[in-house]
Amino acid sequence: MRSAQFAAAVAAFAGFAAAKTCTKDIEISEPTPVIDCDVVDADITVKESVAGALSIEGPKQLKGDLIINNASNILSISSSSINSIGGRLEFQALNSLNSINMDSLESVKEIVMKKLTALQTITFGSDTVTKAESVEITDTDLSSLSGLMLTSVKDLNINNNDRLTKFDSALVNVTGQLLINSNGRDMEITLNDLETASEIQIGNVKTFEVPKLSVVKASLKFDQCDKLESFNAPNLTKITDALAFINNKKLSNVTFPKLTEIGGDLRIVNNTELTEITGFPKLESAASINFGGNFEDIEMPKLDRVSGTAEVSTTSTKDDFCKFFEKADSDGVIRGGADCTFDNKDANQGGETKGGRKTDGSSSSSDNSGDNEDAAGIVGVNTALMGLALIAGVAQLL
């Protein structure tokens, strides 16, 4: 008892002596500032005039934000003392910034890095792991994000980093949005440990590997991935909202061997190399189906409940594709009814597109007035997508 009290007293005294807390905001005006605080319970900002190698040593814990914006002559930013940032790390419009080295940093609430057009390397946390609620990396010259060692994040948004062609990450859970779009051509993404995710939107990538992904709690969407040839989700069983593949011009193979349930719309439109939909051997249910493309074959042997409609169309001159949907409709599988056309040259504009033939020999009412119809088709796809985005957004608020 006595020794425990003594130890507690010593610990309290040592803690008091060691941790000097500063509570006023700090504005840094030179590259090697002296900051005599262990804890900064305030924000640190850096003046636009600071130039050269900025080194922030001293503070270990920053409870507020670290903000460095518009300092176009800063070449590098380093700190080996800061290990946590309770607020935001925001680095924006630093045109000459080449490297960031904060090798003690283990946790940050939010990371925003934008318009860092010369930034080539980042190091956060040496052998530890960085946790963050939200990370946005936009418009940098980074060719690698290996400095970002995250296992868990709420939102991760990586876009418009022209030289970024690879993203390998040990991420396990993404609870908010994972948005990866418009980075380097042929970008390859490998998330070998990802187990659960919420909203996933992928654009302009060549490969997206998620071998362990088992649940998507919002939507999974691939849009305009010009080099994506195949996507396989070997362990994915459930998607709470929508699954969409839109405008992926080389995509020819889509496989979801364990997927049983899609809570929202299943939309596969304008992937002109995708001629068969046979990668859903276990799929039992979806809220609605919208297919438009060059489909010759479809197999969904377990499908038994589509609560809404199936609006589907193919350029194929064979009627097999439509026969599948008509049978599913007459078997009562598609509760909202199926509307299918084949031999429709405009099928890639989306399943709602009129035109083509029906299996009963009639032709679909086609107000073929050239541009107008094209425009209507495109609008159809986009408004539907926006609807999905909205639903996903609302779902996240809940």
78 CB burial (10 A radius; 0-12, 13-18, 19+): middle
- Assess 151 for contact with ligand NAG (CB under 6 A): yes
- Assess 249 for contact with ligand NAG (CB under 6 A): yes
Q: Which is nearest to 284 in space by CA: 254, 320, 319, 259?
A: 259
Closer residue to ligand NAG in complex, CB, 37/44: 44
CB of 316 within 8 A of CB of 343? yes
Helix (H) or strand (E) holding 269: strand 261-269
- Assess 364 for contact with ligand NAG (CB under 6 A): no
Q: Which of 376, 378, 391, 395 binds ligand NAG (CB under 6 A)?
A: 378
Q: Report, in Å, the least distance between residue 280 CB and ligand NAG.
A: 12
- Scored b (16 or more CB within 10 A) or e, 364-389 reads beeeeeeeebeebbeebbeebbeebe
Interatomic CA distance for residues 205 and 377, integer angstroms: 25
Residues 196-225, mask of contacts with ligand NAG (x by CB under 6 A)? x---------------x-x-----------
- Assess 232 for contact with ligand NAG (CB under 6 A): yes
**Contact stretch for ligand NAG (CB under 6 A) within 58-66, 97-105, 362-370, 375-383:** 375-383
Interatomic CA distance for residues 231 and 234, integer angstroms: 10
Residues 163-202, mask of contacts with ligand NAG (x by CB under 6 A)? ---------xx---------------------xx------
Residue whose tokens read 């009639």: 362
At 300, the amino acid letter reads M
Quick count: other Cβ atoms within 10 Å of Cβ 328?
20
At 101, the amino acid letter reads N
- Assess 250 for contact with ligand NAG (CB under 6 A): no
Measured from each CB, the residue nearest to ligand NAG is 249
Closer residue to ligand NAG in complex, CB, 196/359: 196
Q: Which of 55, 104, 123, 230 binds ligand NAG (CB under 6 A)?
A: 230
Closer residue to ligand NAG in complex, CB, 67/391: 67
Beta-strand relationship, 230-232 and 215-216: unpaired
Size of the site for ligand NAG (CB under 6 A): 25
Interatomic CA distance for residues 160 and 301, integer angstroms: 41
**Contact stretch for ligand NAG (CB under 6 A) within 16-24, 109-117, 184-192, 245-253:** 245-253
List residues binding ligand NAG (CB under 6 A).
Answer: 69-70, 93, 151-152, 172-173, 195-196, 212, 214, 230, 232, 235, 237, 247, 249, 253, 255, 270, 348-349, 377-378, 381
